[in-house]
Copies of this chain bind each other. A is one copy, B any other.
């Protein structure tokens, strides 16, 4: 059961440009994304209302998107505005449209009940707009697993020491024994892990030149249903980071946004924003190059996990201590789904 009354990321803003439209599948519906004459992002069902050709095989024109088969033009609202060789346009020549909103370099869509589409619910991530202080780089990975398995992944970091043992993981025990604080937020749940007075990983030393032990933090804010805002860093032990002074030192922010493609596949939109040596583009690039392979490791694992769950279900599985935050997250999403069912039933 996919939650539909939610803002999902359809694309990075810079993926939608020019004459070429972009095809995506969200909540198992094929959609086409393009910008109308004014530059505003639009999202339509990716099926022409004439003979069902995918509009994404057409081209973007001044009035909208032109089907590549027989030349019909559909505007950003889904209305057919031109039929070659025909003056009258039938009123039912329409394509399903979806609300699309651009914010912080991302284009979000609402696949559910339009009456409930409140843009106030779209996640804030202003760092994408602040390349001076937070130079950043982004990507999107297709993943053959339910999007919640990727959120699970981010809510239980004990996997770092095993799945990422050869990349960012380092010492498993350090991760498992990290100090952990979890708080509810109005839109989700946030946990902060501290590895105080710990040996910095080699990459941190290389990046920030630490001479001795550090206080290291990882803050993960889950925003329902499927965004995770991460803030990670380290400072010299005792320099006050734990008490709140987290400027300087080594730090970066990661944005993780998961969008359901189907019940068993998703898009993983992610970015890294570099909070140190901001005037050195190679520092941001290096961070990106270090992080990208770990997400590929996640992908391989959750895809295998999905395959097993699809075949064998979840009967007989046990929850362990490190699942606590993950389960809190899951209950929130389940409440949203239950609410959507009830709300739509009431209408």
Whether B90 pairs with A308 at a CB distance below 8 angstroms is no
Whether B53 pairs with A304 at a CB distance below 8 angstroms is yes
Decide yes or no whether A156 CB sits under 8 A from chain B: yes
Interface size band for A: 35 or more
Query: Which listed residue (B57, B161, B317) contacts A71, Cβ 8 A?
Result: B161
Within 8 A of B (CB), among A282-314: 300-301, 304-305, 307-309, 311-312, 314
Q: Could you tell me the distance between the alpha carbons of A162 and B83 in the complex, rounded to whole angstroms?
A: 12
Decide yes or no whether A104 CB sits under 8 A from chain B: no
Whether B322 pairs with A85 at a CB distance below 8 angstroms is yes
Decide yes or no whether A92 CB sits under 8 A from chain B: yes
Within 8 A of B (CB), among A1-59: 30, 46-47, 49-54, 57
Write out the residue numbers on chain B whose beta carbons fall within 8 Å of the beta carbon of A321.
83, 85-86
A310: nearest residue on chain B (CB-CB)? B52
Answer whether A162 and B71 are a contact pair too, CB < 8 Å, given A57-B301, A85-B176, A301-B57: yes
Decide yes or no whether A122 CB sits under 8 A from chain B: no
Answer whether A52 and B162 are a contact pair too, CB < 8 Å, given A176-B84, A301-B57: no
Within 8 A of B (CB), among A153-180: 156, 158-159, 161-163, 172, 176-177
Write out the residue numbers on chain B whose beta carbons fall within 8 Å of the beta carbon of A83.
320-321
Decide yes or no whether A67 CB sits under 8 A from chain B: yes
Answer whether A318 and B67 are a contact pair too, CB < 8 Å, given A85-B158, A301-B57: no
Q: How far is the CB of A37 from chain B (nearest CB, A)?
A: 20
Interface centre among A68, A92, A319 (most CB of B within 10 A): A68
Within 8 A of B (CB), among A85-120: 85-86, 90, 92-93
Within 8 A of B (CB), among A190-234: none
Decide yes or no whether A66 CB sits under 8 A from chain B: yes
Write out the residue numbers on chain B whose beta carbons fall within 8 Å of the beta carbon of A162.
66-71, 84
A-side residues, CB < 8 A to B, are 30, 46-47, 49-54, 57, 66-72, 83-86, 90, 92-93, 152, 156, 158-159, 161-163, 172, 176-177, 300-301, 304-305, 307-309, 311-312, 314, 316-322
Please name 6 further chain A to chain B contacts, defined as beta carbons within 8 Å, in addition to the given A52-B314, A54-B308, A85-B176, sorted by A numbering.
Answer: A46-B308, A47-B308, A50-B317, A51-B152, A57-B300, A71-B159
Q: Can you spell out 29 A-B residue pairs with CB atoms less than 8 angstroms apart?
A: A30-B312, A46-B308, A47-B308, A50-B320, A51-B152, A51-B305, A51-B317, A52-B314, A52-B317, A53-B305, A53-B308, A54-B305, A54-B307, A57-B301, A66-B162, A68-B162, A69-B301, A69-B305, A70-B156, A70-B159, A70-B322, A71-B159, A71-B172, A71-B176, A85-B322, A86-B320, A86-B321, A86-B322, A93-B318
